[in-house]
Structure 1
Amino acid sequence: MDNADNLFHPSLAAALMKLDPEDGEKIMEYFKTHALLTREKALLQSSVREQKKLLVENAKLKKDIEQLRVQLQEKQRRRTAKALFSPAPPPSTRSPAPSAPSNQAPSPAGATAASPSSSSSHDRRERQSRRRKGERKARPDSLCLGAEPQVDVSRLDLRVGRILSVRRHPLAEMLSVQEVDVGENAPRTVVSKLQGKTDLEELQGGLAVLLCNVKACKLRGVVSQARLMCCSDSDDLIELLAPPTGSAPGDRVTFLNYPGEPDRELQSKQRVWELLKPDLQVDCKGVANYKGCGFEVKGKGLCRAPSLTNCIIR
């Protein structure tokens, strides 16, 4: 009770003892106990607030670390490509010049005759060097063409998103505009051709799979920042791919057999999406897959079509 004793002035204890000699001490003990409990409650509330603050800061640090890791991997990839494609310095073909005899000075006529020969040799070396550089410069293009078959689905940044709102496009009757939360600070605007194919009101509040590293483009005056992943059958019925139960906005969709990191942004000239699209299918069980490898949210399950089977993904 030492801490509680400091909370009360001695004159208060004396006054209580004078007013009620029998119960004065008990009253003082009650006050002291109540004061200690109040202080402990305040300390506990402060500790809970501090713990919540630490959890928020920890989550922010994890997100920053993940972004830095992706940037580092991208830099390493660029450095490796630069090292592979940069031309090696041409080998030196210069031969040591013969030294003139020490006991005989070169004549002016001999010096004049040697000058054209040295100039022509220098020009020949420059032409050979230019030819070698031209061959090396053309070599990366052939390597790039040979690398196209190695493009795989890991280059797509597929994430789970929650559709916050759906509205009709103000300038296009067959287009709709969705605001989608993909786990970022602000929702993304997505323009899609769902008008007339699905019930737009049913989409609001639901989860979907989005391709997030497509280049932003303007469709009839509205900028679209992602692509909704849909499946479609021969009757042109369209359904959005459904993430597994328990998924949350921002969850990555990955592929067990293709563990690479996605591109920061898909370049249109590389045509990655066009090359991968033919291998994106929904199988006979309704599971979305790439070359037989399912769209997976780790620890939560596979992405599926709500009702369609044996159809394409677009």
Structure 2
Amino acid sequence: MNINLIRNFRQFLTASLKMTSKLTIETVKQNAEVAKRTIVELRNELNNLNAEYNNLRAEQLREENAKLLIAVEQARKNLVDLEIANDVKQIPVPNRTSYKIDALATGESAQTVSELVKAEAAPTPNVKDSKPKKEKKPKETKEKSSEDTNIPIDVGRLDLRIAKVEDVQRHPDADTLYVLKINCGEDKPRTVCSGLVKRVPIDELKDRLVVLLCNLKPVKMRGITSEAMVMCASSPECVEVLIPPKDVVQGDLVECSGYIRRPDTVMNPKKKIFETVVPDLHTNENLEACYKGIPFTVPGKGTILAKTLKNVAVK
């Protein structure tokens, strides 16, 4: 009886172990399959994330490139403005970047700008029906340049006129400057900054007639553009505004006998016309303002005088 029980128990254990082994193997297989599917899903998700990241990074780089394009264009414009301010000759060249900048300024996407860049890089088709460009005339330009070169640098290049001071104010940002409104016979008065504050009382300038140099290049003086210069007799101790003859009116021209009056529209600072002429401007023993000893005159009305200063510079 005991032997049978033991035999039955052994059979039971053997059967149980076989069943457990089969269950364990099935479980392992199932878990392996689940793990495999999970790995595939994770790999796909990772690929999707990488693609999304690459797209975002590419968009970010396009936006950064677009901003750099704007910065480069602005820097170029600033450089051109500085060159123009310093009379550096500008040579026109084809420039098709402005529409890209305009697209960015109006809120176009970086992709749009990128497409514009690609379009610019593409070769331009040869269109037979396109309008022919106007031909330049190099001969005329050379002739004009030659004429300018042949004009002597003397007092005739200065545009000196009689003018009337209509208003005088102190410069808001410069203690030594007046800001004058001066009418020299044009449609509107010119603004002139003059360093006469410590030399000439403001009451002596109001409503008086002066000699005005009208073709200097306009220049900013502490934020205010000065468009001409009041001519004065000057010594280290004293400055006197030149006095026109009687019966003159604003707009009358000032001449110098023996020199043809043919003033530049605006004197080119590089040619140093005024700097060449000014050493020969002075008053004589008769208080007359002169160029190389020849008095300035308003034809038919008289000479230009200083009040008291003899044999001093005029500037």
What is the TM-score normalised by the length of structure 2? 0.53
Q: Does structure 1 residue 255 correspond to structure 2 residue 256? A: yes
Give distance in 2, aligned partners of 1:293 and 1:80.
Answer: 36
Q: What corresponds to 1:239 in structure 2?
A: 240
> 1:164-175 residue pairs with structure 2 within 5 A?
164-175=166-177
Give a deviation string over 1:1-58, Cα, whole Å, max 9, x none: xxxxxxxxxxxxxxxxxxxxxxxxxxxxxxxxxxxxxxxxxxxxxxxxxxxxxxxxxx
Which amino acid is 1:192 matched to? S
Q: CA RMSD in A?
A: 2.3
Q: State the identity %.
A: 38
Cα deviations by residue, 1:169-213 (Å, 9 ceiling, x for unpaired): 000001111101100110011001001111111210100000001
Tell me which of 79, 82, 85 is aligned to 2:142.
82
> Which of 218, 221, 227 is matched with 1:219 structurally?
221
In the aligned structure 1, how far is the partner of 2:269 from the partner of 2:139? Answer: 22
Aligned to 2:289: 288
1:185 aligns with 2:151: no
Q: Match of 1:198, as an amino acid?
A: V
Cα deviations across residues 124-143 of structure 1 (Å, max 9, x unaligned)? xxxxxxxxxxxxxxxx9xx9
Q: Mapping of 1:50-129 within 5 angstroms?
A: 82-83=142-143
| Cα distance change on mapping 1:248 and 1:79 into 2, 3 Å | farther
Q: How many residue pairs align between the two structures?
A: 178
Which residue is equivalent to 1:111? none
Q: Distance in 1 between matches of 2:158 and 2:303?
A: 17
Q: Does 1:301 align with 2:292?
A: no
Matches within 5 A, 1:121-140: none
Q: Is the 8 A contact 2:255 2:261 kept in 1?
A: no
Question: Is the contact made by 2:283 and 2:290 (CA closer than 8 Å) also made in structure 1?
Answer: yes
Contact 2:182 2:190 in 1 (8 A): yes
In the superposition, the TM-score normalised over structure 1's length comes to: 0.53
Q: Measure how far apart 1:260 and its partner are.
A: 3.3
Q: Distance in 2 between matches of 1:79 and 1:245?
A: 48
Q: Hey, what's the Cα distance between the residues in 1 that align with 2:144 and 2:227?
A: 33
Paired position in structure 2 for 1:264: 265
1:83 shift after superposition: 3.3
SS in 1 for 2:256: coil
Letter paired with 2:174: A
